[in-house]
A and B are shown apart, each in its own frame.
Chain A
Amino acid sequence: MSQAKPYRVSHLDALEAESIFVMREVMAEFERPVLLFSGGKDSIVMLRLAEKAFAPARIPFPVMHVDTGHNFPEVLEYRDTRVATLGLNLVVASVQEAIDSGHVRELPDGTRNRIQTPVLLAAVEKYRFDALFGGARRDEEKARAKERMFSFRDEFGQWDPKNQRPELWSLYNGRHHPGESIRVFPLSNWTELDVWHYIAKEQIPLPSIYYAHDREVVERGGMFYAVNEFIRLKDGETSEVRRVRYRTVGDASQTAAVLSEADTVDKVIDEVAATRITERGATRGDDKVSEAAMEDRKREGYF
C-alpha cells in the first residue's frame, strides 16, 4: 500500500492514545472508578490524560490521595490547587488517622510505606471503588514489569502474579465479583523519559521540588535526604546545603533527592537521558530491603 501521506504518529502520541483508550474503557465498564493521586509526576500526567480523555466534559471520577502524613508541603499545595482547578472530588485516606484510631500500628522504624496498604484497602471498601487508576510504570521495577494493564485484585486486594488473566489485544477484561477490584495502569508502557517528554510537550506544571533547588540534606548510603521534621540528623551525621531535585515523590521520610543542576524541564530531560541509575534505585529507601520487596508489597495490595 503506497500512501501519499505517511499517517504517522510519534511514539508519545501513540502512548497517549493508548492511555486515553484505557481510561475510557474503565469509565464505560465500571461503576465507581477512582484515580490514585499522590501529587507525584506520574499521577500528574495521569490526571492530564484523564482531562484529555473526557474533554470537554469534566473528569468523571474522584481522585484519592493515600496520605502517609509524611508530605512535602509543596506537593500538598500542588494537590489542592490542581483538584480545585479541575473541580474534582478529593478523597483523602489518612494513614495518621488510621494510626490514631488503632486501625493500623506504626512500625518501629517509623516508615509508613507498608502500612499505607491497609489504609488504601479500607478506603476502597468504604467507598466501594471497583477500579483504581494507578500511575505505576512497568519500567520502574522488575515486578511491575510483569503487571497487566488491568490487574485483578481479590477481595483482600491481593495480586497473584502466577495467575494473571491473559490480556489480548486491547480487549481488557474488567469483570469481577462484588468486593473484588481492578487496578488499572494507563501509564504501563511509559518510561521515565516519556513522562518527562510529555510534561514538556504539554507544559504541565509540577511541584517545585522536581526542579533543582538548594536544600539542606544529609547523605545516607549514597542518597541525599532532606533534613526536616521527618528526617533528623543522627549522631555523627552532618548536613549540608546541596543543589538537588526529586526524581520521584513518595513518603517524605523515605524519598531521597538527587544532586542536580536541572532547573528547567529541558535540562531534566537531558539529565534523565544520561542517568545510569534507575529512578527508584536513586531515590527509594523502601526498595532496598530485599530482592523481591516490591513483589511482596504488591501481593499484599500495594499500588
Chain B
Amino acid sequence: MSQAVLENETAPAARMDLLRFATAGSVDDGKSTLIGRLLYDTKTIFADQLEAVEAASASRGDEYTNLALLTDGLRAEREQGITIDVAYRYFATPRRKFIIADTPGHIQYTRNMVTGASTADLALILVDARKGLVEQSRRHAFLTSLLRVPHLVLCINKMDLVDWDKAVYDRIADEFTSFAAKLEIGDLTIIPVSALNGDNIASRSENSPWYDGPSLLHHLEHVHIASDRNLVDVRFPVQYVIRPQSTTVTDYRGYAGQVASGVLKPGDEVLVLPSGLTSTIASIDTADGPVGEAFPPMSVTVRLNDEIDISRGDLICRPHNAPAVAQDIEAMVCWMDETAPLRVGGKYAIKHTTRTARTVVRGLQYRLDVNTLHRDEQAGELQLNEIGRVRLRTTVPLLADEYRRNRTTGGFILIDESTNRTVGAGMIIEAQ
C-alpha cells in the first residue's frame, strides 16, 4: 500500500482541491466493486459499514465480501445485484477530496449514468477483460465525450480472470484507442486492474510487471484539473436579486449568482444581456465582505454602478466577449423519457442556466448509432436513451455558448410540462 494512503489516517487539511469523478461501463464490469475497493484501500470504510457488508455478503452466500454492496445501497439493487441509480461516495487523501458518482451500467438506467457524469472532471470507464468492448462501453465512452468530461480513464478490469495476459490488455487498449480517436477525448489513460483483488488500484501490482503506468489512485491524485476551467469568457448568470427590506441596509441591490466562467473584478466594464446595457462593477460582495475578484465556482453578489433593470435569467459578461442571444438552437440531445419519444413539433419547457423558457422541436437532423457513430438522417424520433442532433426554437432568447466552450452556458434540460419530468439533456452546438 502506498504512502499516500497511509497518511490518509491523519486529518486531511481543510484546504485541498476537489475532484469529481464518475464510473461508467457495461453492467457487471465491476464499477461498484472498484469503488468499494478504492474506499477500502484508502481506509474510508468504517468498521460498522464493513461489518454490515460482510454480513449481507454472507447471508447472500457470496464467497467473498462483496464490496459492491458499499455503494449498492437500495433494497432493489441488493436483490438484483445491479446498480440502479447513482450512489455518491466521498474520500480524501492528503492531496485531494474526491466526490465519486458510481453509476449504473444497465442500458435502462443510462439517464442515471448521465446524471453522474454531467458534473464529473474525470470518468472511469470499466471493461471486463474477458468480454472486451461491448455496446455499453462504446455508448458510455461516447456520452462521456459528448458531456465533455475532461479526463478519461479506461480500466481494463478482471485481469485476474485472464491470467494478467498482456496480449488481452493490448488488444482492448488498441480497440478502445481507435474508437476514441473518432470522439473528442482530451486526455486518456489506460490501466489494467483487478477491482476484486485490488491490483493497480491503490498501489502498483506485481501481477503486471509489463505495465509501467500509475496506479488508479496515484493517477486520481495527480491528474491536472486546474486548467479545465474556462477563465477567459466572463459569464455570470443572475440567479437572484438581493434587495434587503431593512431599515439598516438601504438602497442595496445586488445580483447573486455563481460565476460560470471567467474572472470578474471591481471596476470591470460589463455588458448585461439580453438588455444590451453596459455598466461597471461597483463591488463583488460575499457574506464575509467584498472580494477583489471572482472566478468559478465562487457564489458571489455583484453590484453595478448604474441602475439598470436586471432580473433572474439575465447574464453579465464583458462587452467584447458575449454569448449569443439566440432563439434558434442546434444541439445534441440525449433523450431520457420512457413514456414518449422526442418528436419534431414536440413542445417542452427548457431550463438553461437560470433562465426557463418554452421550446418547440423544429427539426431532427439525425439520430446517432452509438456503436458505429453512423448518422441516421431518416430517423423521425428519439426514443429513451437515444441521442440525436435537433433544432429548437425558444419563446425567449437564451444567452448561450457552444457546450464545447462552456459546460454551464452550453447545457440545458428539457422538461415535460405535464408530468414535470426531466426528459432530455442538451448540449448546444450552435446558437443564433
Q: Do A and B bind each other?
A: yes
A121 to B432, CA, bound (A): 46
16 A-B interface contacts by CB (under 8 A): A17-B297, A51-B287, A53-B256, A57-B245, A57-B252, A142-B71, A162-B74, A169-B118, A170-B119, A173-B420, A191-B92, A194-B97, A272-B11, A276-B47, A291-B52, A292-B75
Option from A145, A167, A193, A272 in Cβ contact (under 8 Å) with B73: A145
List residues of chain B with CB under 8 Å of any chain A CB. 9-12, 14-18, 46-49, 52, 56, 70-71, 73-76, 78, 84-90, 92, 96-97, 99, 111-112, 114-115, 118-119, 226-227, 229, 231-232, 239-240, 242-246, 249, 252, 256-258, 263, 285-288, 295, 297-299, 301, 312, 336, 349, 351-352, 354, 407-408, 411-413, 415, 420-422, 425
Tell me whether A9 and B297 are in contact in the complex, defined as CB-CB below 8 angstroms, given that A28-B354, A168-B425, A270-B11 are known contacts.
yes
A57–B15 contact, CB under 8 A? no
CB distance from B348 to the nearest CB of A (A): 12
Q: In this complex, what residue of A is CB-closest to B117?
A: A168
A276 to B10, CA, bound (A): 12
Tell me whether A52 and B287 are in contact in the complex, defined as CB-CB below 8 angstroms, given that A9-B297, A166-B425, A168-B118 are known contacts.
yes
B contact residues around A269 at 8 Å (CB): 11
List residues of chain A with CB under 8 Å of any chain B CB. 1-3, 6-18, 20-21, 24-25, 27-28, 51-58, 138-139, 141-143, 145-146, 148, 161-162, 164-171, 173, 175-177, 188-189, 191, 193-194, 197, 200-201, 269-270, 272-278, 281-282, 291-292, 295
A137 to B88, CA, bound (A): 10
A175–B415 contact, CB under 8 A? yes
B contact residues around A197 at 8 Å (CB): 14
A166–B336 contact, CB under 8 A? yes
B71–A145 contact, CB under 8 A? yes
B425–A53 contact, CB under 8 A? no
B contact residues around A291 at 8 Å (CB): 52, 56, 75, 78
Option from B86, B226, B232 in Cβ contact (under 8 Å) with A146: B86
B46–A277 contact, CB under 8 A? yes
B297–A18 contact, CB under 8 A? yes
A6–B226 contact, CB under 8 A? yes
A contact residues around B87 at 8 Å (CB): 142, 145-146
Tell me whether A278 and B71 are in contact in the complex, defined as CB-CB below 8 angstroms, given that A57-B246, A166-B115, A273-B10 are known contacts.
no
CB distance from A117 to the nearest CB of B (A): 18
B contact residues around A164 at 8 Å (CB): 85, 112
Option from B18, B118, B246, B421 in Cβ contact (under 8 Å) with A165: B421
B contact residues around A21 at 8 Å (CB): 239, 258, 299
Q: In this complex, what residue of B is CB-closest to A12?
A: B14
Q: In this complex, what residue of B is CB-closest to A168?
A: B118
CB distance from B127 to the nearest CB of A (A): 25
CB distance from B204 to the nearest CB of A (A): 27
CB distance from A275 to the nearest CB of B (A): 8
Tell me whether A167 and B18 are in contact in the complex, defined as CB-CB below 8 angstroms, given that A173-B351, A175-B349, A295-B75 are known contacts.
no
Option from A12, A145, A148, A176 in Cβ contact (under 8 Å) with B15: A12
A25 to B353, CA, bound (A): 11
Option from B96, B115, B299 in Cβ contact (under 8 Å) with A20: B299
A168–B245 contact, CB under 8 A? no
B contact residues around A272 at 8 Å (CB): 11
A contact residues around B85 at 8 Å (CB): 146, 161-162, 164
CB distance from B22 to the nearest CB of A (A): 12
A156 to B92, CA, bound (A): 38
Known: A173-B422, A276-B46. 20 other contacts (CB 8 A): A3-B227, A7-B226, A14-B297, A21-B239, A25-B354, A27-B240, A28-B240, A56-B244, A164-B85, A166-B115, A166-B413, A167-B115, A173-B415, A173-B420, A191-B90, A273-B10, A275-B46, A278-B49, A281-B49, A291-B56
A58–B244 contact, CB under 8 A? yes
B contact residues around A6 at 8 Å (CB): 226
A145–B56 contact, CB under 8 A? no
